[in-house]
Amino acid sequence: MNENLKILIADDSELMRMVMKGFFKKFLLSPEILETSNLPDAFEVLEKQNFDFLLLDINMPRGDSNPNTVKEVLKKQPHIKICMFTGNDKATLERSYLEAGAVGFIQKDENMGTSLEEVLKRIFN
């Protein structure tokens, strides 16, 4: 997989950020990983820096992500790959986010690592 990818993890759970950061370090060579815990902070960071990949939680304090959020991020950074990350029901929501431009949808469950690895292999190989 690619080296030195810039990753932004936007999730309100410190535990989830830590777990996913570990997976990124396992699956990628020398990733640069930044973290935010809410949507406004994520947008602030996206205004200042370009990223290769955004792992975006749907439900966060100070604003939930929706398909329009994906479109808004892609307007600012057309080349970023956005993967949704949520405890919400994947079957109900996945299609609308993918149609908006997300490249993946990861359910917060015991298969998160495998799911992330599959998304990363598909988009960066």
pLDDT of residue 38: 96
Q: Are 31 and 5 in contact (CB under 8 A)?
A: yes
Question: What values do phi and psi take at 13, rounded to 5?
Answer: -90, 115
In a domain, 1, yes or no: no
Ramachandran sector of residue 63 (left: φ over 0; alpha: ψ -120 to 50; beta: rest): left
Mean pLDDT of 58-87: 94
Sequence letter at residue 8: L
CATH number at residue 11: 3.40.50.2300
In a domain, 62, yes or no: yes
Q: By residue range, what is the domain housing residue 43?
A: 6-124
In a domain, 33, yes or no: yes
CA distance 16 to 34: 13
Answer yes or no: is pLDDT of 1 > 70. no
In a domain, 63, yes or no: yes
Q: pLDDT category, 37, cuts 50, 70, 90?
A: very high
In a domain, 37, yes or no: yes
Encode pLDDT of 86-125 as tens digits.
988 888 999 999 999 999 999 999 899 999 999 999 999 8
Say what the pTM is: 0.95
Tell me how many domains the chain contains. 1
In a domain, 22, yes or no: yes
